[in-house]
Structure 1
């Protein structure tokens, strides 16, 4: 019986940032950075949302809108 938690691997094909036209490292590291940012920003955003709806939504959207794309684009492979 094998058990354990696997590391998520994300693949993005059709990109022109490298000759292989596929990225694995960038999207995977981007996902891990997204998850780490979300662990902090979603509870904070939910608390802020109670008082300022627009600001709370912006905080909760930050990992998906800024963190993941920035990290994924920074690593071309």
Structure 2
């Protein structure tokens, strides 16, 4: 069962649909934690160096969330 209404066991040990819940959830938590620190720093740096500031502010979305989400296969 890979689609539609047949995938009702999402989150159980059998997990026939290969539903990812834990990885994206922890990725979101890591994203928020990194964003709380990096966005104010990035905004300050942006005042002097626009490209560097944008890169700092984008880091949680482009690096932190994807790495954490992919690292946990459930």
Higher helix content, 1 or 2: 2
The structure with the largest strand share of the pair is: 1
Tell me, yes or no, if structure 1 residue 42 matches structure 2 residue 39: yes
Query: What is the rounded CA distance, in whole Å, between the counterparts of 1:19 and 1:58 in structure 2?
Result: 39
**Mind listing any 5+ residue stretches in structure 2 that lack a counterpart?**
1-14
How many angstroms apart in 1 are the aligned matches of 2:44 and 2:34?
16
Highest Rg: 1 or 2?
Answer: 2
Is it true that 1:56 corresponds to 2:53 in the alignment? Answer: yes
Match for 2:70 among 62, 68, 73? 73
Unaligned runs of 5+ in 1: 1-17
- How many positions carry a matched residue from both structures? 60
